[in-house]
Amino acid sequence: GLPRAVNLASSSLGDGGFATHVLHMLQESPHLAQKLWVEFDEAAAVSQFDTLQEFGRLVRPMGVRFGLEHAGQRLHAIDRLFELGLDYVKLEASMCRGVAGNEAAQEFVRRSVALLHALSMLVIAQGVLDPADVEVLWSCGVDGATGPWANQKAPA
């Protein structure tokens, strides 16, 4: 009953029956579709834009959250990013780790957050290790964080 994120391989998009199979499963369990987050690698947005866009058009009306993971330097080069219909984008760990001591990385995160928020997308930092990085990422406007930092237990 908990929300789940599923990372799908770009090659899944190329499988003619994949989208049909996923759609059938979601139709059989619409209450679970509301708790599903489906994400593809940034590379799929570059190399398979139309197919990825169509997949999003199929699953989003059922309540599935749709996103990109491992977004990095190529994010700003994705033409028609808004047309993908994304709910969220996860910034790759290499863009988020060490951000507290790297002004260029901070500027990249700020600009990415501004762009994605303007497109009504959530921004999640991936692979965060250091609490100092988390503080800077929050100040840059990210909406969430994953990684070892997020998995730490609260002090007893």
- pLDDT > 70: percent of the chain: 97
If you average pLDDT over every residue of the chain, what do you get? 90
Task: Say whether pLDDT at 101 is over 90.
Answer: yes
**Pairwise pLDDT comparison (43 vs 151), residue with the higher score:** 43
Q: Is the pTM of this model over 0.95?
A: no
* Cα four-point dihedral sign 102, 103, 108, 111: positive
Q: Tell me the H-state helices in 36-102.
A: 42-47, 49-59, 93-96
pLDDT band at 16 (very low <50, low <70, confident <90, very high): confident
How does DSSP classify residue 60?
G
Dihedrals phi, psi of 76, to nearest 5 degrees: -75, -10
Q: Decide if 38 contacts 6 (C-beta within 8 A).
A: yes
CB distance 69 to 90 below 8 Å: yes
Task: List pLDDT tens digits, range 44-66.
Answer: 888 899 999 999 999 999 999 99
Residue pLDDT, tens place only, 102-140:
999 999 999 999 999 999 999 999 999 999 999 999 999
